[in-house]
């Protein structure tokens, strides 16, 4: 992670403001390197025990314990977890998301607001499993539905296959490897759920993670069960 970038032209910013009914406000300002989509904001100098890589390490983790003391996902959401540790998932909150191009505002359950922010952190933290989601972060859609997420994920993947084709590599037009990608992501989600479940926090952050996992399951289901016929009908104009 590069913490020394000051040029605003090189930084992509997502600012999430949570406004609670009691007047409490909290902002999370996510800064990403526009070229790599890596997080560039400073991290705490020390981390809690639960952030150590060996604690409920993902079964499919590609990182070496000897070289990485801490889980990259955990270290980048320490502040988020700490702030929402006493919050319940069903609490209503007003969330304002400001990007470089536009703003989004919505009254929403806390779990859904946190889930939208958590998805950015997890995809850009340096986890080699989750980094395949980075292109979606570049075109982040706050408060997305499962259907919207599925459309974006599949579109992203097919565009990647086009680039593979252009570079002389064999593309996966049947989405077989995308299913495998999301199977791996679900393994990460499950392991991280165990990690969070063993620390003393209320359910807002835990249920936010569960929402992300439900989205991953939805995408796999759509592909495995060939449930994309509605989108296929929308593309009829391109069949000539």
- Joined together, the tokens standing for residue 146 give 């499962």
* Residue in 97, 87, 82, 91 with CA at minimum distance from that of residue 27: 97
Which pLDDT belongs to residue 221?
A: 93
pTM metric for this prediction: 0.90
What percent of the chain is predicted at pLDDT more than 70? Answer: 95
C-beta separation of 83 from 26 below 8 A: yes
pLDDT tens for each residue of 126-175: 999 999 999 999 999 999 999 999 999 999 999 999 999 999 999 999 99
Which pLDDT belongs to residue 74?
A: 94
C-beta separation of 46 from 30 below 8 A: no
Sequential DSSP letters for 108-166: EEHHHHHHHHHHHHHHHSS-TTGGGGHHHHHT--TT--HHHHHHHHHHHHHHHHHHHHH
**What DSSP character marks residue 96?**
E
Helix (H) or strand (E) holding 184: helix 176-197
> Bridge partners of 26?
18
Helix axes 204-224, 146-166, angle to 10 degrees: 60
Q: Please enumerate in sequence order all residues whose Cβ is within 8 A of that of 32, keeping only pairs 6 or more positions apart, or say none.
A: 11, 12, 13, 14, 38, 39, 40, 124, 137
Q: Please enumerate in sequence order all residues whose Cβ is within 8 A of that of 233, keeping only pairs 6 or more positions apart, or say none.
A: none
Residues of the chain with pLDDT under 70: 1-8, 41-44
Residue spans of beta strands (DSSP E) within 86-235: 92-98, 103-109
Q: Please enumerate in sequence order all residues whose Cβ is within 8 A of that of 104, keeping only pairs 6 or more positions apart, or say none.
A: 95, 96, 97, 142, 143
Which pLDDT belongs to residue 226?
A: 82
Which pLDDT belongs to residue 4?
A: 46
Distance CA 106, CA 93 (A): 8
Distance CA 47, CA 136 (A): 28
What does the CA dihedral 85, 86, 91, 96 come to, rounded to 10 degrees?
-50
190's torsion region: left (phi>0), alpha (psi -120 to 50) or beta? alpha
> Bridge partners of 96?
17, 105
How would you classify the pairing of strands 25-33 and 92-98?
unpaired
- Cα 59 vs. chain centroid, distance in angstroms? 19
């Amino acid at each position: 992670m590069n913490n020394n970038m000051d040029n605003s032209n090189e930084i992509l910013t997502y600012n999430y403001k949570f406004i609670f009914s009691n007047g409490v406000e909290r902002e999370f300002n996510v800064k990403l390197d526009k070229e790599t989509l890596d997080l560039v904001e400073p991290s705490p100098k020390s981390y809690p025990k639960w952030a150590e890589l060996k604690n409920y390490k993902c079964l499919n983790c590609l990182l070496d314990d000897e070289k990485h003391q801490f889980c990259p996902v955990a270290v980048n959401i320490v502040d988020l977890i700490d702030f929402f540790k006493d919050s319940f998932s069903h609490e209503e909150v007003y969330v304002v998301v400001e990007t470089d191009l536009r703003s989004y505002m919505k009254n929403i359950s806390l779990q859904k607001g946190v889930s939208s922010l958590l998805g950015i952190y997890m995809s850009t933290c340096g986890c080699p499993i989750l980094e395949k989601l980075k292109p979606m972060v570049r075109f982040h859609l706050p408060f997305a539905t499962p259907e919207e997420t599925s459309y974006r994920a599949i579109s992203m993947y097919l565009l990647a296959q086009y680039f593979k084709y252009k570079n002389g590599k064999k593309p996966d037009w049947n989405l077989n490897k995308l299913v495998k990608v999301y199977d791996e992501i679900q393994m990460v989600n499950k392991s991280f759920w165990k990690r969070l479940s063993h620390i003393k926090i209320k359910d807002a952050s835990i249920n936010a993670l569960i929402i992300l996992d439900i989205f991953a399951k939805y995408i796999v289901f759509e592909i495995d069960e060939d449930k994309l016929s509605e989108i296929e009908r929308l593309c009829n104009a391109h069949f000539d």
